[in-house]
Amino acid sequence: MTLRDKQIVVGVGGGIAAFKAVELVRELQRRGAKVRVVMTPSACRFVGPITMTGLTGQPAVTDLWDPKHPGEIHVELAHWAHAIVIAPATANLLARAAHGFADDAVLATLACAGCPVLMAPAMHERMWRAAANQRNVERLTQDGVRWAGPVQGALANGTTGMGRMAEPVQIADALEREAFAPPDLAKVRVLVSAGPTLEDIDPVRFISNRSSGRMGYALAAAARDRGASVTLVTGPTQLPLPAGVQTVQVRTALEMQQAIHNALRKTDVVIMTAAVADYRPAQAKTSKIKKQGETMSIELVKNPDILATLGAKRKGKRPVLVGFAMETNDVVAYGRKKLVQKKADLIVANEASVGFGRDDTQATLVGKRGDEALPPMSKRELAHRILDRVCGLL
């Protein structure tokens, strides 16, 4: 996991979005990070330092002159940190940081930073777009600051615009991507399929499955963060499309097969997470089927097995092929059978009860040299574990 055992200082500025810093601390901890918090005096008006102390087990630093902290606490924090995240980063905080102010605990810690710094701005749209603020952003960027947001959304005064702080998960993702992702997939071209396919019965009905697409999207984002050039072929999902990834949206198994075929020539690794429908109606009706009788039969025909087709046509060791096997029983046995039948390099085998629609999962990596049973983990962490194995196959 990219943030496991990383030491992160979270600096909290004095804006209404400060309440989200509480969830950010939690999110970083969920990803395995060790967190300490430093707050501006204004931030303490929005979020109590005791809350942060309770979450982290370390006193929240709010005052450079606090006698409970021996020595120079801002120097200690900056030396301890593997990265510093400022959330929210208000317009006032950005201005003072851009000009080297160090008159509170957050700014003094920033002034001592020798590690990556990520800022998550939060302010009214007019403040964000103000010429002076944009000059400060540009100056901080030139100094090496990385950014998470802001994003378009609801603002504190009830209006909507650019200036809303990114959500804690987005900030944590940005930290992983900007500060810690190993560039071990640089110059590698990765194709990921994700989500379900929808096979139309008539204009209002279809055959599908419960795939949420979360695993495929996590893999696409993780590969991107590790330097890969990523193409995501996705069936319909409710997920936001990952930034920095070329995305092809499809609906049916045949459309997915064609999209993968179109991208295959420029691909080094194919990871098939998509839950492609095994069958489709032999003929989709052009008008809604009316209710008739107590039973109804629909003739189904088999969809192409995309992974098996890729394995059969592959010449040599390229592209590396990774498939998924979601089963309700005998998971590893079915995974090993699929590894052989599909001529894949790696199969990620997991149970349907811990896979569909959840952010966490548990899987066994089934490879030609043996199986690796993994403990329960987030799909984000599993994505990196899979990519670790892919790196060994390149």
- CATH number, domain containing residue 26: 3.40.50.1950
- Reduced to 3 states (helix: H, G, I; strand: E, B; else coil), residue 111 is helix
Evaluate whether residue 45 is within a structural domain: yes
Is 330 in the same domain as 270? yes
User: Tens-of-pLDDT digits for all 394 residues of the chain?
Assistant: 578 889 999 999 999 999 999 999 999 999 989 999 999 999 999 999 999 999 999 999 998 887 777 678 899 899 999 999 999 999 999 999 999 999 999 999 999 999 999 999 999 888 898 999 989 988 888 888 888 888 888 777 777 778 889 899 989 988 887 788 778 899 999 999 999 999 999 998 999 988 889 999 989 988 988 889 999 999 999 888 887 899 999 999 999 999 999 999 889 999 999 999 989 999 988 889 898 888 989 999 999 999 999 999 888 788 999 999 988 888 899 899 999 999 999 999 988 766 565 666 889 999 988 899 988 877 877 888 999 999 999 8
Do 364 and 297 share a domain, yes or no?
A: yes
Domain count, the chain: 2
My answer on whether 99 and 167 are in the same domain is yes
For residues 108 and 214, state if they share a domain. Answer: no
From the list 196, 247, 188, 248, the residue with the least C-alpha distance to 223 is 188
Of 151, 180, 209, which marks where a domain is finished? 180
Cα separation, 320 vs 223, whole angstroms: 14
**DSSP class of residue 197?**
-
212 and 328 in a common domain:
yes
Does residue 314 lie within any of the structural domains? yes
Whether residue 2 lies inside any domain: the answer is: no
Q: What is the pLDDT of residue 361?
A: 81
CATH classification of the domain holding 304: 3.40.50.10300
Q: Which positions are catalytic? A: 209
Residue 289 lies in a domain: yes
Residues 128 and 207 in one domain: no
* Residue after which a domain boundary falls, among 180, 214, 237: 180
Q: In this structure, are residues 326 and 352 in contact, taking their beta carbons and an 8 Å threshold?
A: yes
The residue type of 202 is D
For residues 230 and 335, membership in a common domain is answered with yes
In a domain, 130, yes or no: yes
Q: Residue 165 has what DSSP assignment? A: P
Whether residues 240 and 369 fall in one domain: yes
133 domain-assigned: yes
For residue 353, the model assigns a pLDDT of 67
Query: What confidence score (pLDDT) does residue 66 get?
Result: 79
**168, 309: one domain:** no
Q: Are residues 353 and 316 in the same domain?
A: yes
Residue 1 lies in a domain: no
Q: How far is residue 12 CA from its own chain's centroid?
A: 23
For residue 357, count CB atoms less than 10 angstroms from its CB and return exposed for 0-12, middle for 13-18, buried for 19 or more.
exposed
**Do 139 and 279 lie in a common domain?**
no
Last residue of one domain, picked from the residues 145, 180, 215: 180
Domain assignment of residue 21, yes or no: yes
> How many whole angstroms separate alpha carbon 236 and alpha carbon 194?
9
What is the structure's pLDDT at 174?
Answer: 83
pTM score above 0.75:
no
Segments forming the whole domain that contains residue 64: 7-180
Whether residue 202 is found in the same domain as residue 72: no
Q: Please, what's the b/e burial string for 20-54 (b: 16 or more CB within 10 A of its CB; e: otherwise)?
A: bbbebbebbebbebbbbbbbbebbbebbebeebee
